[in-house]
Structure formats: C-alpha cells, structure tokens
Structure 1
C-alpha cells in the first residue's frame, strides 16, 4: 500500500519516483514473449482499437500521421497532441515537412494550439478549422487550416487489411499489478498505406502536391497515461520505407524506478502482387547507435550510424490472432544498418510543447527532453529467411532523451 501511495503522489506532483522495481512494471510485450505467443493481433477501426482513450487523469495522447514521398523527397508528419493534467485539457496540432532531395527547401515546422476541440464518436477529432476523420472506406482524412504556414489536406489509405496491436491488450501497465495500476502506455498502428493530398504555405505561396504512387504513410496512436518522464527516460523510433518494404520501430526504456525495463515493438511489411503483408512483429530487438559523440550544448549524444537487429517470427495469416508459436523454424532476423547521413533537427521539447505540459515536468531533476531527428537514404534492411536479400531505402530515425539518471543520482 505504501508504494501505491508513493506512486499516486509522484504521479500528481511530478516528483522523482521511488525504485519500485520490475515487479511494478507489466510490459505488453513481455506478457507475450514469456508465454511464447505471436505478438501480432489485428487492430480494427470498427472495433474501437483506434479510438481516443481520453482518460480523466494526467495523460498525453497523440495521433500521428507520417508521410514519405520517395519520388519528390518530401517527408514529415502531422500530429494531434491531446493532453490532460487533471484540471486542464488542451490540444495542439504539430506539423513538420522536410525534403531530403532538395536542400534549398526550407523545412516547415509549426505547432499550433487548437481551439474548441472535441473527440467525436471516440475515433474522430475536430476543432476550429481542423478535422481528423475516419471515412467509411477505411481511409483517414486530416485537414488543418489553423496555421497559414501549414495548410494541410491529406488522405491516408491503409494498404494492409487491418492495423496492428501487440497482444489483445496493447497497454503496458505501471503499478503493483494490472488491476492496481496507476499508469499505462499504449500504442496501436496502421503500418503502411498510400498518401495523397497537399500542403500549402500561405506565407510564401508554396503549394506542395502529393500525387505520386510512391508516397507512403503510416499512422500510430499513442497514450502515455501518466507523467511522460515517469513512463520513460529514453525513446527510439524508426520508420524505414522502400517501394515494397517498410519497418517501424517504437521502443522505450523506463527510468530506474521501474528497473530500466524496455518495451520494443517493430512491424515489418512487404508488398506482394499489390497486396501488403505483415511479415513479422519483432519485440526482441537489439539497437546499437554507432560513432556516438557528446553534444556539448545538451549533454546528450549524437550518433553517426545505426546497427539495429530485430528478432521475430513469421506471421501466418490463418485467421488466429495472438497464437502460440510452436515452431522455431518460423524465426526471422531482420537487420537495419547504415549511416545517419543528416541530422534534420535537434529539438528542445520544452520549447515546443504546450505550456500546461511544461508545468508537468518543470523543475523535475534532470528532466531535459531533446529529440534528435535523423534522415538517411543510406540504410539497408536484410532478412534471414531470404538469403542474399538486401533492400536499400530511406529512414526517419529519432532518438529521444528525457531524463539523465546520472544527475538524479548526484
């Protein structure tokens, strides 16, 4: 009971947490791997998997829509940040667009507060001059006119018949038990699709049309159902894409209070005869950042290259979700290697997030979140089940640092 009280107090005040240990961390992926279950479970819009969870306690919930036009070089994301600190709820629309082929293109970055926002029917979202709408054909529309520098009109058409969640319950829980949990983390994905639409910058008159069949996207909903710096101290993210393959990674490591536990979720897809198949959903992954050197301004590290290994099992579409794995011959190892050719941006999160979210973490020892966003056209994906396979593609790679536990110890 004492630990539960400590957890409740720290969740409200933002104080550093006691060391609860691994017993108070209930990973969505460990629940599967410990029982040797296939982590893949279908996520469907009609079944509520892509609903906004909208809990009443302190949380940050995001809906993020990534795009990559392999032909023109435009890539970026559109994101809703819906946050609650218990007494105040707010919403923000952030948008980023970068061009990896045209160095003269001045990247777009906007972060705009949404007014009169509401969740509609649990899965849609609207505000003044903004809508996120699931359509009857399963596509997703994002329209925003809240900022003149980023007028957005995008349509995402999933190319997989359903989305992906890890296990039947995709949440990771913090607390003495799942039944007595005081916080959680949740991710649900649509891993690949086609994107069409436009981005208009009214301040300079630029109109960017996305019409190529080589424009791909994916969609992820995430919920941090407690204070973000209590959920995780570090994040790793990858979106690798070619004309026929894609790989997504979402990984976080908890603070020492939860034994520096790791949750790692990856999804690998391939296109075959115009059908996109989900090959594997590895959650036993080894991520190495190579050639690291210290960023003297922040204290965090830059990286020069990646060597990421993903260990999963072949998914056989036999209509059974979350089935036991009985044959190790279905094991597949994927490896993503290459140079990080360009640091797009080193983002000081505290400068970009809404003020009320800053209030959650302000003054907390050693909390100094920075996102290092890289883009590389020199990464290669190989797979063990196809000898000699080698797919060179482009990758959006992020490393996010939140809390420096060396300073906490001091």
Structure 2
C-alpha cells in the first residue's frame, strides 16, 4: 500500500518517484524469456487506447524519401493526472543539400476525435484514417502553413509486437501495475504523397516505418534516456527501440527490435545493444552527444524460432538533423509539469546518415547499404 500511494502521488504531482529498484519493473524482455518473441499485431492493437490515467499515446511515421528527404510525422494524444486531454501534430522535413526544404511544425489540435472503431483520428484540419483492410493509413493535415501533408502509408511487411502484448509493466505487484510502456510496429511501409514545405511541393514517395506507442505513466518517470534506430535499404529494414529507466526502477535497459528482408519478418529481437562508441560533450546542454554508434541485434528467426539471426552496424553520425529541446515541443500540460522538475532537461539528438548493415541468417551472410535514421534522447 505504501508503494502504491507513493507512486500515485508522484503520478499526479509529477514529483520524483521513490527508489523501488528492479523488482518494480517487469520488462517485455523478461516476459518472453526462452520464447520466440515474434507476434503479429491483432486488429485490436491498431486501436487508440486512450487510457483514463496519465499517459502519452503516439502514432508516428518515419519516412525515407527517394528524393533524399528525411521526414517524421506524429500524432500525439496525452492525458496527465487525469485532468485534461490534449492532442498535437508534429511534422519534420529535412534534406542535407536543400535547406529550403527543411522545416518543422508542432501544432496543438482542436476538436480531436477518435472514430467509433478507435482506429482513425480526426481533428480540425487533420485526419489519420486506417483503411478497411487495415493495411494502409491516409494522412491529411493542413494545421500549419509551413508543412501541409498529404501522404499514404501502406504496410509492406508483416507487423509485429514483442510477446503477447508488447508491454513492459511497472509496479511492485505485476497483477496491479501502476504504469506501462507498449510498442507496436509496422517495420516497413511504402510511402506516397507530398508535403508542401513553405510553399514548395515535395514528393516524399519512398519507404518508412510506423510505430504506435503508449506510455502509461509520466514520460520522465518511465525513462531517463532513449535510443531509437530506423534503418532502410533496398531489401532490408531494421528497427531498434531502447529505453533506460531512472534509478527509481534500477536504471534498467529495455531494448527491443525487429528485422525485415524481402518484405517479410526475419526476426524480432530482445538481445540487442545500442552503444555510443564515441561522444562529444554538448556544452549548452551538458549531455554527451554520440558521434559514432555500434548497433547489434541477436535472436531467432520469426517463423520457426530455430535459426539464429544476427545483425550488426557501425555508423559515423556525421550528419545531425537537429538537436531538439523537448520542452519546447510537447503539449503545454506536459511542459508545465516537467519544466519544474529538478534534474530534468530533456533533449533529442536526431541523425540521418548512410550506413551498412551486416545480416546473418543461419549460415547465410549478406550486407546492404541504406539510410540510418537514429535518435538519442536524454531526459534526466
């Protein structure tokens, strides 16, 4: 009862949590121990969950356009302390050789509405609609003059989650958790459409990835840092999502991933490493910005669970898209809560570079060059 009360107070006020230790986190990795972690998404997994408790729910699309543009679009729905629900749309466009094509917008949304089947989102001047066959999203957004979006995302490989529900639970009693973190993936999608950036129409057809995430507690209570990887080559795609908890949950790292080849799932992996091999101190923020990363995935094939799968990548992060102050972009209700917390200064470092992945499936080894988009997030 004491731990539950402490967590409930921290959840509402945004204060730092007590130190519960590793016993209070039940990671999705531990929950699939000695199992093939691959599970295809169900129809219900595509629904907006909209928990009544504190949460941040996002549907995010990462785009690698044939034109060389790197794009990111995201719909955010949040509810903190059960006080108020807010919605926001974020769009980022970057091209290393065309700064006039680079832009970002972050817009609070009015009249947000979830469809009766909970699979489509609409608000004033924006819609994100899932097709009846549940294989395609259509996004139209004119909420910002700087980025007007008209895009179709079509699933190009099987979806996945880790284990039966893709969820890490927080709490001293696993049957009565007080928080959670959940991820669902479309690891490779075909992209078509345009984004009008400051009056310039850009064809952003290419490939990408879709992720549905639900943080069922305050973000700064759940994680102190994140690593995210989205790699796409001609035939291979790879994703990695890692978060490390604050000391209140034993500074525990949870790293999940997946690999696609030839439009099929090769493996879902939970034995992964995201290492910042070389870093440089950012004097303005105090964080150590990665300049070289080493990434590895290890698991078994998704279909039989009997064939070993490994992937490796070493990348020089010479092209940085942005360094973002998270507090400048999150919904106001989140900003007000996080802003006053001692030791919380969240920044995201975003990179896009060419890289080569080495993939081994059983005894078969192959290499492929593609575009690596990755993020390093520091919170506390």
Query: 2:302 pairs with 315, 322, 342, which one?
Result: 315
- Residues 336 and 382 of structure 1 are in contact (CA less than 8 Å); yes or no, is this contact kept in structure 2? no
Query: 1:159 pairs with 156, 160, 163, which one?
Result: 156
2:77 matched to 1:82? yes
Deviations 1:86-111 (A, max 9, x none): 111110000001114x2444411000
C-alpha distance in structure 2 between counterparts of 1:28 and 1:84, whole Å: 24
2:379 matched to 1:402? yes
2:280 matched to 1:293? yes
* Residue of structure 1 in register with 2:320 after alignment: 343
User: Could you say what secondary structure the match of 2:323 adopts?
Assistant: strand
* Residue of structure 1 in register with 2:41 after alignment: 43
Which segments of 5 or more consecutive residues in structure 1 lack a partner in the other structure?
Answer: 318-324, 404-410
2:143 matched to 1:149? no
User: Could you say what secondary structure the match of 1:358 adopts?
Assistant: helix
- Residues 311 and 358 of structure 2 are in contact (CA less than 8 Å); yes or no, is this contact kept in structure 1? yes
2:216 matched to 1:262? no
* Residue of structure 1 in register with 2:204 after alignment: 210
C-alpha distance in structure 2 between counterparts of 1:352 and 1:315, whole Å: 37
* Residue of structure 2 in register with 1:334 after alignment: 311
C-alpha distance in structure 2 between counterparts of 1:111 and 1:234, whole Å: 22
- Residues 379 and 393 of structure 1 are in contact (CA less than 8 Å); yes or no, is this contact kept in structure 2? yes
Deviations 1:240-288 (A, max 9, x none): 11111100111101011111111111110011xxxx1100111111221
C-alpha distance in structure 2 between counterparts of 1:174 and 1:286, whole Å: 22
Give the structure-2-normalised TM-score: 0.96
* Residue of structure 1 in register with 2:237 after alignment: 246
Deviation, 1:177, is 2.0
Deviations 1:92-133 (A, max 9, x none): 000001114x24444110001111001112111000111010
User: Could you say what secondary structure the match of 2:177 adopts?
Assistant: coil
Deviations 1:300-329 (A, max 9, x none): 011111111111111226xxxxxxx5x4xx
Deviation, 1:385, is 3.4
- Residues 227 and 360 of structure 1 are in contact (CA less than 8 Å); yes or no, is this contact kept in structure 2? no
Give the structure-1-normalised TM-score: 0.89
* Residue of structure 2 in register with 1:407 after alignment: none
* Residue of structure 2 in register with 1:322 after alignment: none
Deviations 1:65-102 (A, max 9, x none): 11111x310111110010112111110000001114x2
Structure 1 residues 379, 42: CA separation in 2 closer, same or farther (over 3 Å shift)? same
Which segments of 5 or more consecutive residues in structure 2 lack a partner in the other structure?
Answer: none
C-alpha RMSD over aligned residues: 1.4
* Residue of structure 2 in register with 1:279 after alignment: 266
C-alpha distance in structure 1 between counterparts of 2:4 and 2:99, whole Å: 54
C-alpha distance in structure 2 between counterparts of 1:313 and 1:378, whole Å: 24
* Residue of structure 2 in register with 1:10 after alignment: 10
Deviation, 1:388, is 4.8
Deviation, 1:22, is 1.2
User: Could you say what secondary structure the match of 1:237 adopts?
Assistant: strand
Deviations 1:356-382 (A, max 9, x none): 111221211101100000111134334
* Residue of structure 1 in register with 2:217 after alignment: 226
C-alpha distance in structure 2 between counterparts of 1:184 and 1:126, whole Å: 26
User: Could you say what secondary structure the match of 2:346 adopts?
Assistant: strand
* Residue of structure 1 in register with 2:353 after alignment: 376
Deviation, 1:188, is 0.5
C-alpha distance in structure 2 between counterparts of 1:297 and 1:126, whole Å: 38
* Residue of structure 1 in register with 2:111 after alignment: 116
